Amino acid sequence: MDSSIQKEYQRWCSEATADNDLIIELKEIAENKKRIEDAFYTNLAFGTGGLRGIIGAGTNRMNVYTVAKASQGLADYVIKNFVEKDRKIAVSYDSRNKSYLFAQVASGVFAANGIKVEIYTELMPTPCLSYAVRKLNCAAGIMVTASHNPCEYNGYKVYGSDGCQITIEAATQILTEINKLDIFHDVKTMDFETGLRTGKISNIGNDVFTAFVEEIKRHTMLSDDVVLDKNVSIIYSPLNGTGRKPVLRTLKESGYMNITVVKEQEQPDGNFPTCPYPNPEMKEAMALGMEYAKRYKADLLLATDPDCDRVGIAVKNENSEYRLLSGNEVGMLLLDYICSRRQKMNKMPEDPVLIKTIVSIDMAERIAANYGVRTINVLTGFKFIGEQIGLLEAKGKINSFIFGFEESYGYLSSSHVRDKDAVDSAFMICEMFAYYKAQGVSLLQKLNELYLQYGFCLNTLHSFEFEGAEGFAKMQKIMENFRDGIKAIGGKRVLSCLDYSLGLAGLPKSNVLKFLLEDNCSVVIRPSGTEPKLKIYISISAGNSKEAEYLEGIIAKELNTLFV
C-alpha cells in the first residue's frame, strides 16, 4: 500500500472526530489494507452529477467531511460568481441514511460563508429542489441523494441558478475550488441550529411546495369536453423514499382517489428493507408492488425511486397478467399522447421540440417527426435536457419544449423544473391511462399500434460493475480496447463508430462510444457518471419482437464475454 494512503488514514484517525460512526469504522479497518486503500486511494469524484459514493470513512467515501469540503468549494464558487445579494442556496434531502445530517452540514458551511440558505423542513424530491432554486431566485441548490443506488450509498447533486444540474464548465470550476482545500483545516462551518436561530438558514415555506403541485396540475392535456372515469385502480409505491406526499397529493387533487399504497414501502427508510436496490428499472424493486397489483386486481402500478425523479409502471396484458413497461416504452407512449392531445386541442407550439438522450430509443424521433416535432439529441444525463430547455427559452422559444425523456425512466412534460420529475410523470401517466381506458384501449394495445405504424424497435441496457481502484482501471482499459477498433458485434458489421470524447455534433466531450451496426442496429458503451459501472445500450430494429429478442441475445452474449 502506498505510504501516502497510510499517512492520510492516520491523519483521519486523529482528526475525523465529528461523527462517531467514522471513529468506529477507522478503528475497524486498521489491519485491512485493501479497505484502507479503497477508502483513501482517491478523492470522491466531483462532476456534473455532484458527489456519489458509499457512506463511510475516507476521502473516497460520503461522510460529513467530504460533504463539507464539497460545500466549501461550492460556496467559494458562488462567492466568486454572484454578488452578495444574490448569494442564496436551496437545500433538500431524501430518505437515505445520513441525508438529513449531510444537508445540515452543507447548510452550516454555506451559512458560515455568508450565503443565505433555504432548506425544506422535511424530505422532498429532486424536482422540488429544482423548482425551489428558480422560485426562490437562488444562485445554486443541492439535493442530498444517491437516487436509485443501494442503501450503502449517498450523494450530493448540485444545481445552478437555472434549476438544472450544473454544466461541465461549472463542475470544473467548483472542482478547482474544492481541490484548493484541506479537508480538515480549510472548511468554514456553523452549527445548523445556530444558523436557524440567527436567520442565516431559513425553512422553505409550504407555499413553494403548493406552487410546485399546482404547476404540474396546470399542464394537463385534458380539455373540458373530455369526460374520464378517474376511478382507475392504482397501486403506488414510493420505494421508502420521498414520493409519498407529492405524488399522492397531486393525484388526489386531480381526481384519482382509488389509490392503494404499498404499505411496506410507504414510509421513508434509508435501509430499503423490501427493495435493496430501490430502482424502478429493476423488476426486483417492483416485485412487492406487483404482488399488491395482483391482490387488488389493480389497473395500474406506479413506483418512484427514493428521490422521486424516476417512475416505473406495470399494466395488465390481454391475459390479465401484469407486465412492466420499459423507460423507452413509457417515453414513446407519453410522447405520442402529448403530441396527439396538443394537436387535438390546437396547443402545439410553432416550433415544437422533443429532447432525448442519445441512448434513448430512436423510434421516438419517427413519432415526433410524424407530428411535426423537432428532435434534439443530447448526451446521457437529464441535465443536458434541462440545459436545452434553457437555451430554447433564451432564444424566446419559451413554449417550444413539449417533452423530454431518457430511457432510464426519466420524463418531463413541461419546463416547470429542469430535471426529470416523477411527480409530473406519475400525473401524466395516470391521465394517459385513464384517457385511453375511456376509449377501451390499454397502454399495451396503444404501444402495439405505435409499433405497427413506425416499425418494431427493441432497446436494452446491460450493466457491469467494477468496484474499487482495480475496477476503475479495468473500466478504462475496456474503453481503450473498444477505441482500438471493432469490426463486428454479434455478427453485425460495424458501419461506423461515434466517439463522443471528441465532442461530436457540438455536444460536450464525453467518454461515450456508439457503434452503428448494419440493419439499423447500434451499441452504446459508456462508464456511468455516478456508479462504478460500465453501461451497454443495445438497439435492435427488426420485423417483430421475437426476431429482435433473438438478435439482441446474440449481441448481448458476445459483449458479456468481453466484460467479465
pLDDT tens digit sequence for 91-102: 999 999 999 999
Q: Which three cell numbers stand for residue 317?
A: 396484458
Distance (Å, rounded) from C-alpha 225 to C-alpha 273? 45
Residues designated as active site: 147
Q: Which three cell numbers stand for residue 87?
A: 448569494
- Residue 10 DSSP class: H
Domain match, 398 and 449 both: yes
Q: Given a cut of 90, is residue 503 above it in pLDDT?
A: no
Confidence of residue 211 (pLDDT cuts 50, 70, 90): very high
Q: Which residues touch 182 (CB under 8 Å, ≥6 apart)? A: none
Q: Is 102 exposed, middle or buried (0-12, 13-18, 19+ CB in 10 A)?
A: buried
- Quick one: how far is CA 502 from the chain centroid? 25
Q: Which three cell numbers stand for residue 496?
A: 461506423
Domain match, 390 and 244 both: yes
CATH number at residue 538: 3.30.310.50
Distance (Å, rounded) from C-alpha 301 to C-alpha 322? 9
Q: Angle at CA 117, nearest 5°, toward 115 and 120? A: 170
Give the per-residue pLDDT at 48.
Answer: 82
Give the per-residue pLDDT at 62.
Answer: 98
Q: Is residue 337 part of a domain?
A: yes
Domain match, 475 and 376 both: no
E strands of 178-310, at which residues? 201-204, 234-237, 259-261, 300-304
**Domain span including residue 305:** 229-454
Q: Is 446 exposed, middle or buried (0-12, 13-18, 19+ CB in 10 A)?
A: middle
Give the per-residue pLDDT at 530.
Answer: 66
How many percent of the chain have pLDDT more than 90?
84
Give the per-residue pLDDT at 461.
Answer: 87
Give the per-residue pLDDT at 320.
Answer: 92
| Pairing between β-strand 234-237 and β-strand 259-261 as defined by DSSP bridges | parallel
CATH number at residue 54: 3.40.120.10
| Count of CB atoms situated within 10 Å of the CB of 555 | 22
User: How many residues are listed for the chain in this entry?
Assistant: 564
Q: Which residue has the higher pLDDT, 490 or 58?
A: 58
Domain match, 307 and 424 both: yes
Confidence of residue 157 (pLDDT cuts 50, 70, 90): very high
Q: Given a cut of 80, is residue 506 above it in pLDDT?
A: no
Buried b / exposed e over 236-273, threshold 16 CB at 10 Å, is: bbbbbbbbbbbbbbbbeebebeebbbbebbbebbbebe
Q: Angle at CA 184, nearest 5°, toward 80 and 24? A: 140
State which of 435, 454, 473 marks the end of a domain: 454
Q: Is residue 295 part of a domain?
A: yes
Q: Is residue 12 part of a domain?
A: no
State which of 425, 454, 483 marks the end of a domain: 454
Q: Which residue has the higher pLDDT, 141 or 563?
A: 141
For the chain, give the mean pLDDT: 94
Q: Which residues touch 393 (CB under 8 Å, ≥6 apart)? A: 415
Q: Is residue 18 part of a domain?
A: no
Confidence of residue 504 (pLDDT cuts 50, 70, 90): confident
Q: Is residue 265 part of a domain?
A: yes
Give the per-residue pLDDT at 564.
Answer: 65
Across 337-347, average pLDDT: 97
Q: Which of 412, 120, 154 is nearest to 306 (CA)?
A: 154
Give the per-residue pLDDT at 69.
Answer: 98
Domain match, 166 and 54 both: yes
Q: Which of 190, 194, 184 is nearest to 17 (CA)?
A: 184
Domain match, 460 and 446 both: no
Across 373-390, average pLDDT: 93
Q: Is residue 25 part of a domain?
A: no
Q: Which three cell numbers stand for residue 173?
A: 470550476
Q: Is residue 126 part of a domain?
A: yes
E strands of 217-279, at which residues? 234-237, 259-261
Q: Is residue 223 part of a domain?
A: no
Virtual torsion, Cα 335, 396, 137, 114, nearest 10 deg:
120
Q: Given a cut of 70, is residue 1 above it in pLDDT?
A: no
Q: What is the domain count for the chain?
A: 3
Q: Given a cut of 90, is residue 484 above it in pLDDT?
A: no
Q: Which residues touch 557 (CB under 8 Å, ≥6 apart)? A: 490
- Quick one: how far is CA 242 from the chain centroid? 14
Across 485-514, average pLDDT: 88
Give the per-residue pLDDT at 191.
Answer: 97
Q: Which residue has the higher pLDDT, 398 or 286?
A: 286
Confidence of residue 2 (pLDDT cuts 50, 70, 90): confident
Distance (Å, rounded) from C-alpha 356 to C-alpha 404? 6
Q: Given a cut of 70, is residue 90 above it in pLDDT?
A: yes
The half-sphere exposure of 499 on its side-chain side, counting CA atoms within 13 A, is 9
Confidence of residue 375 (pLDDT cuts 50, 70, 90): very high
Cell 430502482 locates to 279
Q: Which three cell numbers stand for residue 418?
A: 429542469
Across 439-453, average pLDDT: 95
Domain match, 186 and 262 both: no
Domain match, 450 and 460 both: no
Domain match, 326 and 363 both: yes
Strand partners, 524: 514, 537
Residue 355 is inside which H or E element, if any?
Answer: strand 353-357
Domain match, 405 and 519 both: no
Distance (Å, rounded) from C-alpha 147 to C-alpha 137? 25
Across 452-472, average pLDDT: 87
DSSP 3-state of 26: helix
Give the per-residue pLDDT at 352.
Answer: 98
Give the lowest-confidence range in 106-120, 158-172, 499-513: 499-513
Domain match, 188 and 246 both: no
Distance (Å, rounded) from C-alpha 552 to C-alpha 539? 8
pTM: 0.92
Give the per-residue pLDDT at 117.
Answer: 98
| Count of CB atoms situated within 10 Å of the CB of 277 | 14
State which of 454, 482, 506 marks the end of a domain: 454
Distance (Å, rounded) from C-alpha 438 to C-alpha 102? 47
Distance (Å, rounded) from C-alpha 1 to C-alpha 4? 9
Domain match, 436 and 490 both: no
Confidence of residue 532 (pLDDT cuts 50, 70, 90): confident
